[in-house]
Chains A and B, each alone.
Chain A
Amino acid sequence: MRIQQSAAAASQDSPAFIEVRQLTKRFAEVTAVDEISFDVRKGELFGFLGPNGAGKTTTINLLTGLARPDSGTIRIGGFDCARDSKAAQHLIGVVPDESNLYPELTGFENLCFCASLYGMRKRERRERANRLLESFGLTEAAHRKFEGYSKGMKRKLTIAAGLIHGPKVLFLDEPTTGIDVVSARHIRQLIAELHRAGTTIFLTTHYIEEAERLCERIVFVVSGRVVRIDTVANLLQPVSGRHMMLVSIDQSTPALRASLAQAFPDLDFETVSDLELRVESTAPIRVAPIVRVIEDHGAGVTEARRLRPSLEDIFVRVTGVEVEALKKEKEKAEAGL
């Protein structure tokens, strides 16, 4: 399996806080996590993306001590999780994909209880709970039972519970799934603030735009295997050196596309609509010559903008390609080649 890793990755100077090597987990015949290796650097916001069943939650469970690997090693903050999992658990906060606090306790009581699990004294946990309730905008709901909270409020309180003991690294599993737009936006702001404050964050999400907006580096996982790790910036660079541009014109002109193709044989032109042309090239595209040819045809250029592939495009392209590669690899292995 080819793993692409950029030399220009963000936070590269920081030491690795989470080190995962050849991690494997099987459930009967299914290999949920298949020899994955990656590092998460101190203070980094690291995205872990993959389709359903890619092994994201299993990986989080392995990293947090809720599951045992079949092989491979995990080190968090220098602690070997196999030998010293409880020491590692001091360093981590976990926000699972479901809001799993205690429905019969109030928000404040939930936070105080979670703090007590880490040995915090009464005064300290009350102060910290109040601070977190304030920063998460939940002060008014502090003394209401958790079962009466809205989905967005439950999510926020669950994140606050993950932070109550001041962890060095926070695992966020699908933090904005199933909540309203305003709450999701607030949670994204909170995640960004935590990152700015220096917390190492390991984020899994279905929302690729969310990962694109928040993460420094992203790993794509398919069928339990890492297919690509890179910075968001590098992932978004034109794939295989492709440059794209969308040119908008003010009137439809017959034979324009044919003329452009004839004038610029190195460029690919595609008609998107009557008034839009998509231009692709392996080299940077010069706009002025194209504009001149269009004007010679009696039309005007209203806009010419560079098209950037979205992370979703990259994700589909990379994972799609790799899924095929994986299938071939497995077929080869099964055939004993």
Chain B
Amino acid sequence: MRHWIAFWNIVLKDMRAYYLKPPNISWGIIFPIAWTGMFFIKSGGGFEQVLPLLPGLVAVSILFGTTSMLAVTVTFEKKARSFERLLLAPIPLELLMLAKTGGAILFGIANALVPVALAAFVADLSQVEWSAVVPAVAMIAIVSTFLGLFIAVSVSEIFEAQTFSNFFRFPMIFLCGLFFPIDRLPLFVRPLSYMVPLTYGVDILHGAIHGANRMPLPFDFLIIGIFCLALFFISVRNIHRKWIV
């Protein structure tokens, strides 16, 4: 029980201190709207284009809402030494890092709601398989946040966190099948697409929203789950090795 009090209060503190600040809320709303408008105009089609665009918009909104956010906040706390307070707390490091990432995961899920809410006004979402969309959104938020954690542990300056985030994010957008279907990518690039966790998240969303998945959904969930576990445990191991020296 004591651990959960600590866990919940870390999540709440981060939400209040970072994620629920007006600039972040506006970022969380404006950014997905901008992406939605951009893709919609680019597609040149009518409202029938909304459903094929929705998976990419949801994924990008989550990715940009979580990765750099977590990387920056953790790097900021590490630099200000307030992170030491958390390391001194008598709670397991794994639980501590889950708490630190919890706020960003919730923020990412909230970001995903914006394009979905917008789509609900202009498209028929009755055929959407929500039982797959909801866990897919959660998994994309988790894997993006853990990527942010991995970045935070790898850098020491805030500007490095932002740069390193983009180093991962922009190639991921091009490789995961958002802009270009993976089939249309050059042959030598395609293997890289399958090394990116977002590919599997986007595939689940394509399947659940308009029935256009390329791989079986259980396989997508399995791979994205493996990415989550790997990123989390590598990050925790790196914290042990680099921050508790």
Contact = CB atoms under 8 A, between A and B. Distances in A.
Interface stretch (B76-84, B192-200, B203-211, B225-233): B76-84
Contacts of B89: 89, 117-118
A172 interface: no
B49 interface: no
A336 interface: no
A119 B245 contact: no
A75 B5 CA distance: 27
A101 B82 contact: yes
A100 B81 contact: yes
Nearest to B83: A100
> Could you say which interface size class chain A belongs to?
20 to 34
A116 B5 contact: yes
B6 A86 contact: no
Contacts of B6: 116-119
A100 B90 contact: no
Contacts, number: 70
Given A86-B92, A118-B89, A104 B244 contact: no
Interface string B76-100: 0000111011111111100000000
Nearest to A114: B85
Contacts of A101: 82, 85
Contact of A100 (B2, B3, B80): B80
A98 interface: yes
B189 interface: no
Contacts of B3: 119
A67 B245 contact: yes
B1 interface: yes
Interface string A79-102: 000000011011010101010111
A96 B91 contact: no
A67 B81 contact: no
B87 A65 contact: yes
Contacts of A87: 90
B237 interface: no
A104 B87 CA distance: 20
Contact of A105 (B2, B17, B81, B92): B17
B90 A113 contact: no
B90 A90 contact: yes
A68 B88 CA distance: 13
A68 B245 contact: yes
Contacts of B1: 119
B9 interface: yes
Interface string B1-34: 1110110111001000100000000000000000
Given A116-B5, A117-B10, A118-B90, 7 more contacts: A66-B244, A90-B90, A96-B84, A113-B13, A117-B9, A117-B89, A119-B1
14 contacts: A67-B245, A68-B245, A89-B89, A89-B90, A94-B84, A94-B88, A98-B81, A102-B13, A103-B80, A113-B9, A116-B9, A116-B10, A117-B10, A121-B5
Interface of A: 27, 64-68, 86-87, 89-90, 92, 94, 96, 98, 100-105, 113-114, 116-121, 161
